[in-house]
A and B are shown apart, each in its own frame.
Chain A
Amino acid sequence: MSLTAGSRPDGTRPPAAVEEPTAAVGAAVAKARVPRKTSKVSKAGKVPFRVRLRRDRALILMTLPVILLLLLFNYVPLLGNVVAFQDYDPYISSNGVTAIFHSPWVGVEQFSRMVDDPLFWGAAKNTVLLFALQLVLFFPIPIALALLINSVIRPRVRAVAQAIMYLPHFFSWVLVVTVFQQIFGGAGIIAQTLEDHGWTGFDLMTNASLFKYLVTAQAVWKDAGWGIIVFLAALAAVSTDLYEAAAMDGAGRWRRMWHVTLPALRPVIALLLVLRVGDALSVGFEQFLLQRDAVGVGASEVLDTYVWNMGIQNGDFSYAAAVGLVKGAIGICLVLGANKFAHLLGEQGVYQK
């Protein structure tokens, strides 16, 4: 992973820093690091594990609590996925965990149920469609907004514009859906205005065929502004020298954007794209649950609501676990695939080998 790859050379720093007088840290470390690293690597090929353990013990100690938490809350619960191969009844024994040992094993029955369930395929189809739509209609918007904000020079205007764009992110989905209902619903502002001018029957909120676009629009309104933060950070890192040099060479506004700004954003865009693709099967949850009844299950069911409905609402934990497991497996394949693709394009991606 990029994190460990990056920190390993740095790992030589703590002993060096301890040895050096603190006053000279900056320059001395920078100078000392390069030869030390190369000499060690060239001698042994690899630092022995025990040496590294002793050398990094402070760092290891510091990460230990987090790793324990990660194990406890992320990895131990993974074991519970075995219920996907059972007909799990959490009440069969004195508690839910021991119930796993008492529930009957059914092999892949839950998975074949899933394959046979048209509702599952409907949810899967909606999920993929929505992902594609979000990728095309949502993903580029924060980039465009970041470029726009970046081109605003006056700090006051910039701050106000940013604040306005961030704000919807902090609204809950209930509120977002309600606001949309009040504007685009059959009794909303637009419908009422049209009614006053003799046009009847406007109701965007219960139109199942436009639902895909509606939810994407809601997502854009709510989260596009928030999404620009990371791009703005990347833009802030671009040296103004580059712009000045480009301007000196006679590059206009557009050429500067094309040859300076966008290349600077490329690694971030690639990274976010990989992450987004890995998360492709999670297109949203609350948003769909809240509008499920307005447009019907056919248009609004996505994998997450399907799992929730089966598992939490119907108490069919085994089946929900099976669907969740499949979703997770597909997600891993997508991350790996997208990352590979990023490498092929010469980008760093999420991690490196």
Chain B
Amino acid sequence: MTPNAASASSGPSRRSFLASTAVATAAVAGGMPLLAACGGSDSGEREGTTSGKAADKLLPAFVASTVANPDLPSKNGSASGYTGKVDLAALKTSVPEKLGTGAPIKIMSPFWGSPPKAGCAYYKALDAAAGTKITWQNQDGNTYGQKLGAVLASSSIPDMVVVPSWELVGKISNAVTAKFMDLGPYLAGDKVKKYPNLAAIPSDAWRMGIFGGALRGIPMPAATANWIAPLYRKDVFDKKGYSVPKSADEFMSWAKEATSAKAKVWACGDMTWSAWSFFGVRGSGSIGWDIGSDGKLTYRIEQPEYLEALEWVRKLYDAGVVHPDDKARSGDPGQRFTAGQTLVWCTNIADWYGKVSEQAQSNPDLVIDAMDLFGADGGNPKLYASSPATIWSLIRKGASKTTVENALAAADFSAAPYGTKERMLVDYGVEGTHYTVKDGVPVKNDLGNSEVLNAWVMLAAPAAYYAHPDFPEVARKQVEWQQRMGAFMKKTSTFGMNIVEPTRWANLSSQFEQLEIDYVRGNRKLSDVQAAISTWKSSGGDKLRDWYKELIDKNGSAN
């Protein structure tokens, strides 16, 4: 009974939820609005942030990629979309010459699923194409934080390490500054032009890679108009004649009507994540700090909407419209959704495609759509932009020049934009070996399914996009949803800054996620939540506020 074994298997926690997201999107969508994103600092110091002009000096120059123009360009912070078919002959080249020198490098990366053997056809093909020689140290993504913590505390850190922001808990965020190198000498300004795909990563995403006053992280860009989407079963809605709810009250009355325990149908799973959007609650972590119209700086848990959102979700539980397995946090919520046991499922919008393609054969009648986020009172929603990057790859301090250049070559390769040979190779492997193209739709074979996952896609990515040659309509709808919702988007004062909070307050807010889980399920009282908020204030929250105030005064507010 090791802790590792347990957490690897513990129900749908936030971590495994995000993990499934990372797999589903294959590095595309990223953007996890709910997690504590911290990191960064002012020069020399480990804590704090660097933004504004000071940050601009550290950033690589932006050179837009012109390889393949998206059918749906990004708007309102959305991802872009490609709705065409794949034509292998028309694929462009984004890395004209091999940038790697073939010097061996070791990379540690989170991996969801079972990793293929070292030297498998996929790794070989990628190494050959990028000119690299990578030894992968893949670690279980669900328990990655524990591995990362131990590896960072050892004296043998792999050359390149992938670090997701949700693992930056406790003292790890400070460790990132201490253990990884400043990539400025390789990437700042025009130097990045050696790596054209890295140069095409938007500056907002690069800015999130600044830790401790230096550019250390190669970011995986994410759309900022990226919220947990309430996906719903459009086929069932149409059949039953339900209209899509447009306010919190409407949702409640619809949910009561739609739930029938006898027929084994419940209206929804856990709605907490969407409730944040309905009620206008900011995300957790540094992005949750904002200066309001009254000039006061507050954290998300101090928003009156925080308690309102939780109370509303609790009412859903009390009314019995939430699936009992979601109440017990057991099993797979996505499966309950496709099985028709729940009709609304709050998840990353990337799962939309995942479920449609998964069910295409066995359940052809299934139609999924995403509910527009509504304001709780029925008006427009108040939405907050999510972080432009939440996963980085970093190179250890003391790595040789050759090692750094090979690592950057690998990152550049995996950042290849859609419509290039490199992207195709990273996402699908070798044609004939890992996939075949039928009617413009690439389909992975068994070998492709077992070898072509994770690893390379974790190193870097182009600007967020959706492209599903088999279901182009899903890609279009995903982008359009983000664009519609993005119109209501507002940035918090701390948006786009990679902020490392001082370690003395590192665990100040760590209890709230569990508190939320317990409160909405009726296992804690409202007064417990209120007490936790006032304890939070007195045991450091107010001091943390002063710290953020100073930080925002110095760096300028982002909104």
Which A residues contact B (CB, under 8 angstroms)?
89-91, 94-96, 99, 172-174, 177-178, 181, 185-188, 191-192, 195-196, 200-201, 203, 205-206, 208, 284-286, 289-299, 308, 312-316
Contact = CB atoms under 8 A, between A and B. Distances in A.
Contact of B327 (A173, A294, A297, A316): A294
Nearest to A187: B324
B328 interface: yes
B179 interface: yes
A91 B169 contact: no
Contacts of A185: 324-325, 328, 330
Contacts of B507: 314-316
A91 B172 contact: yes
Given A293-B328, A295-B523, A298-B518, A314 B170 contact: yes
Nearest to B8: A174
B153 A203 contact: no
A293 B153 contact: no
Contact of A186 (B9, B145, B179, B324): B324
Given A90-B171, A296-B523, A205 B179 contact: no
Contacts of A186: 261, 323-325, 327-328
A349 B483 CA distance: 72
B327 A313 contact: no
Contacts of A316: 170, 507
B451 to A, nearest CB: 27
B325 A181 contact: yes
Contacts of B341: 187
Contacts of B262: 195-196
Contact of A205 (B10, B323, B330, B514): B330
A86 B356 CA distance: 53
Given A90-B171, A177-B330, A308 B3 contact: yes
B6 A286 contact: yes
A353 B506 CA distance: 49
A326 to B, nearest CB: 19
Contacts, number: 141
Contacts of B331: 178, 181
A203 B327 contact: yes
Interface in B422-479: none
Given A91-B174, A293-B517, A315 B149 contact: yes
B152 interface: yes
B10 A290 contact: yes
A3 B9 CA distance: 39
Nearest to A175: B9
A166 to B, nearest CB: 18
Interface centre among B5, B146, B153, B264 (most CB of A within 10 A): B153
A95 B329 CA distance: 38
Contacts of B3: 285, 308, 312
A116 B123 CA distance: 53
A89 B171 contact: yes
B170 A298 contact: no
Contacts of A94: 155
A208 B172 CA distance: 34
B527 interface: no
B4 to A, nearest CB: 9
A38 to B, nearest CB: 48
B170 A95 contact: no
Given A195-B262, A290-B6, A315-B506, 13 more contacts: A91-B179, A181-B328, A185-B330, A196-B262, A206-B328, A285-B1, A286-B5, A296-B524, A297-B514, A313-B169, A315-B149, A315-B169, A316-B170
Interface in B149-180: 149-150, 152-155, 169-172, 174-175, 178-179
A322 B523 CA distance: 28
6 contacts: A89-B503, A90-B175, A173-B6, A181-B331, A187-B261, A292-B514
B10 to A, nearest CB: 5
A91 B178 contact: yes
A294 B329 contact: yes
Nearest to B178: A91
B171 A91 contact: yes
B41 to A, nearest CB: 14
A293 B506 contact: no
A289 B324 contact: no
B510 interface: yes
Contacts of A191: 261, 324
A293 B324 contact: no
Contacts of B150: 96
A187 B326 CA distance: 10
Contact of A313 (B175, B510, B521): B510
Interface string B59-74: 0000000000000000
A314 B324 contact: no
A181 B327 CA distance: 11
